[in-house]
Structure 1
Amino acid sequence: MEELRNNIDKQKLVVLGAGESGVGAAILAQRKGYDVFVSDYGAIPLAFKARLNEYKIPYEEDGHNELVILGSQIVIKSPGIPQTAPIVKKVKEAEIDILSEIEFASQYTDAQLICITGSNGKSTTATLTWFILRQAGLNVGLAGNIGKSFAEQVAHEKHDYYVLEISSFMLDDIKQMKIDIAVLLNITPDHLDRYDYKMENYAKSKFKIIQNQDQGGVFIFNQDDEEIMKRLDSYTTPAQKYPFTQQGELVEGAYVDMDHNIVIKVLNQDTFDMSINELALQGKHNVYNNMASGIVAKVLELRNESIRESMGEYQNIAHRLEHVSQIGGVNFINDSKATNVNSVWYALESMPGDVVLIMGGVDKGNDYHILKDLVRTKVRAIVCIGEDNQRIHEAFSDDTEIMVNTANMQDAVSMAYHLAKKGDTVLLSPACASFDLFKNYEDRGDQFKSAVRDL
């Protein structure tokens, strides 16, 4: 990799996929002297075309020119493109180097890399960690699976730290990238279609976050997660390990004590403590998120007062348990980013009262069994949105009295408001992908917020 960095000489570099990461990688590659070409099998959104045109980067859409692609020396593959895609197979057969955007960008920055992964909570934890570091005065960027691409930030900005939200798809493509502080929040079934429907394959991808760490690295992990603990001994790292738990005290790491305080103990640092009732983000799952972020902050030797202040002031990201409004005593929460069953479990668990749940969309082979107890005890009604909600009806017909189908977000919100009582929460937490009725989960969440405002 170092040889690539120092011996570019106008090497031909092709970027597959013209989304946020692909366009960012193309911009960085151009700045570093590569002869860049972007190829997308589908249509390129107008906003990304405009950025490519601005930098005069040539591109194609609606198909791949194999002659051009296979004539390159390096290919950067967007994380959404599976290894089994025909063009990726041909690139491998041609023995052309394939890099991910984050690995490529990591070659061109000396910043400390704080990478956060997990099936649930990684967006919140990454953003919270970035917020704590920024509030403490550190020069820190936020990238990865969130916000502006890592590569484009490296091209234009110079941060001392980067907090990267890392998906399993991104981890699949890591080869030599070394992560300074690795955070593994949890491993629950998600995207199993990409991993031959084998949990072991998915877990292996998650553990790649520690594969290149050395003794100077830090590995932070959830000791209460069954899948992590089952495999911890199989994926070793020389890095310093800091677990976090809500099930007892630890000598080092983070835990919740008998008085409901988060306690964080990190080597050679004074102990941090804070009441969980003072956290801006409430709910059991958010205690885990705060513990993980807090360990990162303590490892970086931030002051306790600064960490405590940030944890008490932080406001959640859009589309993840985002409070939209209160109308007629009914709260409206946008959790459109909850595209799997476990995310919905976390959302329901954190709700203080009865819930009217809006859910549905493109089912990814969901197992709804883990939601049944929470639906039975907390959900007043389920409002289905999507083209096919048969499996949701089959899963919960015995657990809640009211289940209705709606054809669009406007109708779903109107029906949910009609069914809710004062003090209830209308929660959009779909458990499904969005691309039957919406462009993406952001579009779904935005339509939810717009419909609430129209009530």
Structure 2
Amino acid sequence: MNHNSKIQKRLVVLGAGESGVGTAILGKKEGYDVFVSDKGTITDHYKEVLRNFEIEWEEQQHTENKILNADIVMKSPGIPDKVDLVQKLKGKEILVVSEIEFASKYTKATIVGVTGSNGKTTTTMLTHYILKHGGLEVAMAGNIGDSFARQVAEYDAPFYVLELSSFQLDGIRDFAPHIAVLTNITPDHLDRYEDKFENYIASKFRITMNQNEDDYFIYDADDEVITNNLKKHPIRSRLLPFSLKRKLENGAYLEEGNIKITIDNNKFIMPTTDLSLKGNHNVKNAMAAATVSQLLKIRKVTIRECLENFHGVEHRLENVLKINNVQYINDSKATNVNATFYALDAMKSATVWIVGGVDKGNDYSELYSLVNEKVKAIICLGVDNTKIINAFGNCVDNISETQSMKEAVNMAYKIAERNENVLLSPACASFDLFKNYEERGRQFKEAVREL
């Protein structure tokens, strides 16, 4: 029984996706008066969950008098700060937070937070995989799987690995991961940051803002955007960089084909040839995950075994099939130029490249040298491919267009020869022809299997 006569606090949740519904469940459990409001439609699955928990909800509208009386508002990461409703809430000084911030208040778990423009899903999944095999009771959440809030509500784990987007970090106030990982920073989502790269950089660095001297920050020391920002804005946590280019006293580096990690004279060594995931970017992901695992006292032999056995993330440089000695690779998760850079960089032979979709202000020039070196033909799969055709018209003779995945794969099948690759790595968002990058990747795999 709750004996204090305090008035029940009101939690309003904007957006009834995975993070919104999870927050509503946790809020209900913690004794809030909860109201969920979604401007779009709520899926039948989530409606049923909300009914089961007896949580009040509305869809296709935001009823302001039911929202502006909130004590705290959890806003879905998809809703920009500049919309009227959010501005009204801020004008009334009502606290607007992200699910990550809200949920972190109700767990005493040790949190590993992973952010970055690219590599964060692989690093999150790989870290979770190692910690789990190392015997820790660990859950994975954030941008991935069941929401953090729902997991805190239903079976709070002692350890979490959270994949965090810049939008989720924009909505934190006190959230502080014990270990923060920043994989890299390249221009992405600038439409949400007034087209200012420095705003996006600041957003990523929010992962460190509440850390103290007992916490750790693991980052790519080869990334000048990160290292310059650290010089300008020093942080309090202990720095553990990783690098492919130079030797480091504390942190992870590459030497003669070996990954070497040193933390307080504790050393870990592993040859990169033993890594199950190929490509330099995956050496970095492995360094980050192994550094976290070493901090959390996982046995070195376990870390090695996991790095040898981990099979990667669906839609991220995923080998689908080999047909007539041509390897088909699904990299649908490459929704920006930098991700595609890593994919092309990992190709060891001539490649037919399927590219295109919704362009987020891409600068394709950084791909020119790789395209010249590796790409024998380009297939544009998008509603408007003008920019791609203009960008690569001088690099590649064979450029064609289609708006059908099946046709794109059939075209590629005709062009690719023995020992070559067919790579779907769009460098763009998927919303022009597909629901999301997962659907795009699944259609690619289905089309390949039908060849």
TM-score by length of 2: 0.97
CA-to-partner distance for each residue in 1:34-65, whole Å, 9 max, x for gaps?
11111111122333223223323221111211
Which letter maps to 2:81? Q
> Which residue, 334, 337, 340 being the options, matches 1:338?
334
SS of the counterpart of 2:239?
A: strand
SS of the counterpart of 2:181?
A: strand
Q: Does 1:57 align with 2:86?
A: no
CA-to-partner distance for each residue in 1:264-309, whole Å, 9 max, x for gaps?
001152x101110110111011111111111101111111111000
Which letter maps to 1:392? I
Q: Does 1:443 align with 2:439?
A: yes
Q: Does 1:307 align with 2:303?
A: yes
Which letter maps to 2:321? S
> Which residue, 264, 269, 278 being the options, matches 1:267?
264
Which letter maps to 1:387? V
> Which residue, 9, 25, 28 being the options, matches 2:26?
28
SS of the counterpart of 2:264?
A: coil
Give the deviation of 1:9 after TM superposition.
Answer: 4.4
Q: Judging changes above 3 Å, is the alpha-carbon distance between structure 1 residues 428 and 374 closer, same or farther for their aligned structure 2 residues?
A: same
Q: Does 1:17 align with 2:15?
A: yes
Inter-partner Cα distance in structure 2 for 1:352 and 1:243? 28
CA-to-partner distance for each residue in 1:312-346, whole Å, 9 max, x for gaps?
00011111111211112111111111100000001
Give the deviation of 1:27 after TM superposition.
Answer: 1.1
Inter-partner Cα distance in structure 2 for 1:7 and 1:78? 31
8 Å contact from structure 1 (residues 216, 239) kept in 2: yes
SS of the counterpart of 1:26?
A: helix
Inter-partner Cα distance in structure 1 for 2:22 and 2:325? 44
CA-to-partner distance for each residue in 1:139-182, whole Å, 9 max, x for gaps?
01111111111001111112111000111111111111111001
8 Å contact from structure 1 (residues 184, 222) kept in 2: yes
Q: Percent identity?
A: 52
Aligned twin of 1:3? none
> Which residue, 95, 100, 103 being the options, matches 1:102?
100
Structure 1 residue runs without a partner (length 5+): 1-5
Give the deviation of 1:8 after TM superposition.
Answer: 7.4
CA-to-partner distance for each residue in 1:231-290, whole Å, 9 max, x for gaps?
112232221111110112111100000x21000001152x10111011011101111111
Q: Judging changes above 3 Å, is the alpha-carbon distance between structure 1 residues 401 and 8 closer, same or farther for their aligned structure 2 residues?
A: farther
Q: How does 1:40-439 map to 2 (within 5 A)?
A: 40-257=38-255, 259-269=256-266, 271-439=267-435
8 Å contact from structure 1 (residues 9, 33) kept in 2: no
Which letter maps to 1:248? R
Inter-partner Cα distance in structure 2 for 1:454 and 1:400? 28
How many equivalent residue pairs?
448
Give the deviation of 1:229 after TM superposition.
Answer: 1.0
SS of the counterpart of 2:316?
A: coil
Structure 2 residue runs without a partner (length 5+): none
TM-score by length of 1: 0.96
SS of the counterpart of 1:254?
A: strand
Give the deviation of 1:97 after TM superposition.
Answer: 1.2
Inter-partner Cα distance in structure 2 for 1:415 and 1:86? 47
Q: Judging changes above 3 Å, is the alpha-carbon distance between structure 1 residues 433 and 368 closer, same or farther for their aligned structure 2 residues?
A: same
Inter-partner Cα distance in structure 2 for 1:10 and 1:447? 48
Give the deviation of 1:210 after TM superposition.
Answer: 0.5
Which letter maps to 1:86? D
Inter-partner Cα distance in structure 1 for 2:334 and 2:245? 26
Inter-partner Cα distance in structure 1 for 2:74 and 2:29? 15
CA-to-partner distance for each residue in 1:402-455, whole Å, 9 max, x for gaps?
111112111111111111111111111111111111111111111111111111
